[in-house]
Amino acid sequence: MEILLGHSPDPDDAFMFYGLARGLVDPGPYRFVHQMQDIETLNRRALDGELHVTAVSVHAWAHLTDRYALFACGASMGDGYGPMLVARPGLDLAAAKRRVVAVPGTLTSAYLALRLAIGEFEHAVVPFDEIPGRVAAGEFDSGLLIHEGQLTYQREGLALLLDLGVWWGEQTGGLPLPLGANAGRRDLGPERLSELNRILRASIRYGLEHREEAVAYALGFGRGLDEALADRFVGMYVNDLTLDFGERGREAVRLFLERGHAAGLLPGPVAPEFIE
C-alpha cells in the first residue's frame, strides 16, 4: 500500500525519517512516498485529508480531530526552549505587540503559544525561512521564529524578545511546549494506524542509535547550519519525547489545547488520544 507521508524539509524531521527514507528500517507492507513541505502547508493539506500520515502542528490537530489521530511517536517538544519572537534592537515586547508580527502560519503551535502569551496582535503570514531576513531588512517590526532560525537569528542582528518555551515552562511548572506531532488518517483503521506508529517509531529510534550518520543526512536540510549546530538542533527536537510523548508530553498537549480553547482560540474542547 502506498502511504503519502508529509513532513517538513528541516533537520529534525529529516533526522526522524532518515531510517525510512534510506531504506534502513522495515517499511512493512507499505511504500512510503515522502512529501516535504513547510509545516503550515502540511497543516492546510491535512484539513483536506490529502496525506495518509503527516507531520502537523499540535495547534492544527485541534482542527483535525475528526479526520486524523495523533501518533504516540514523532513529537517535537520545546523543553525549556521553543519558538522565539525576535526584533531589531531597540524594540521591546510591549511595542512589538502594537505592530505587525511576521508569523509562519496561523495554524502553527508557535502562533497559538504567542497568542496565549501576549494576546491579540496584528500579523502577516510569511514563509518561515524568510522571516529573519525580512525583519532584519525592516519589512516587519518583529518575527516569530521556528526551526533553525531559533539558533541563527543573531547572525541577522536580531534580538530576542520572548522565548515561548521558557514562557510556557514558567506557566506550567516546567512542562515542555507541544509544537509538532505525527498524525495518521483515521480511515486507515486502528490496526493499520498502530502498525504505522510502530514503523515511524523504528525510524526515529534508528536515527537516535545512529546519530552521526543521521545528523550528516539531516545537515542537508539545515539552512545556514554547520554540523555542530545541526547536531544541537536535532538534539533539541528529536529525543526521548519523540519516541513517545510520555506522561509529561501528554499532559503538556492536554493543557496546551485546554488553554487554547479557554482563550477562545480553538473550535471546541479537545481530549487528546494517542495511537500506541
Beta strands in the chain (DSSP E): 2-7, 31-36, 53-57, 68-71, 76-78, 84-87, 101-103, 123-125, 142-145, 159-163, 177-185, 274-275
Same domain for 185 and 270?
yes
Instruction: Choose the final residue of a domain: 117, 141, 172.
Output: 172
pTM as predicted: 0.95
How far, CA to CA in Å, does 64 sit from each of 47, 108, 184?
6, 13, 11
Same domain for 36 and 161?
no
Which residue segment(s) compose the domain that 135 sits in? 84-172
**What is the Cα–Cα distance from 144 to 179, expressed in whole angstroms?**
14
In total, how many domains does the chain have? 2
Same domain for 114 and 191?
no
* In the predicted structure, residue 222 carries a pLDDT above the cut 80: no
Rounded to an integer, the average pLDDT of 210-230 is 85
- Residue 206, classed as helix, strand or coil, is helix
Rounded to an integer, the average pLDDT of 218-231 is 82
Instruction: Choose the final residue of a domain: 125, 151, 172.
Output: 172
Domain at 183, CATH number:
3.40.190.10
Active-site hit among 52, 59, 147, 210: 147
* In the predicted structure, residue 148 carries a pLDDT above the cut 90: no
**pLDDT at residue number 221:** 81
The percentage of the chain sitting over the pLDDT mark of 90, rounded to a whole number, equals: 87
Decide if 63 is catalytic. no
Average pLDDT of the chain, as a whole number: 95
Q: Which three cell numbers mark 157?
A: 542582528
Same domain for 198 and 159?
no
**pLDDT tens digit sequence for 123-140:** 999 999 999 999 999 999
Same domain for 22 and 68?
yes
Same domain for 71 and 183?
yes
Instruction: Choose the final residue of a domain: 172, 191, 222.
Output: 172
Q: Which amino acid is at 139?
A: E
* In the predicted structure, residue 8 carries a pLDDT above the cut 90: no
**pLDDT at residue number 229:** 85
**What is the Cα–Cα distance from 182 to 136, expressed in whole angstroms?**
33
Same domain for 73 and 111?
no
**What is the Cα–Cα distance from 45 to 30, expressed in whole angstroms?**
21
**pLDDT at residue number 236:** 92
Same domain for 72 and 201?
yes
Same domain for 160 and 199?
no
Same domain for 148 and 235?
no
Nearest to 207 by CA among 195, 218, 223: 218
Same domain for 129 and 183?
no
**pLDDT at residue number 149:** 85
Beta strands in 37-147 (DSSP E): 53-57, 68-71, 76-78, 84-87, 101-103, 123-125, 142-145
Nearest to 104 by CA among 77, 89, 84, 90: 84
Same domain for 252 and 124?
no
Top pLDDT among 156 and 226 is at 156
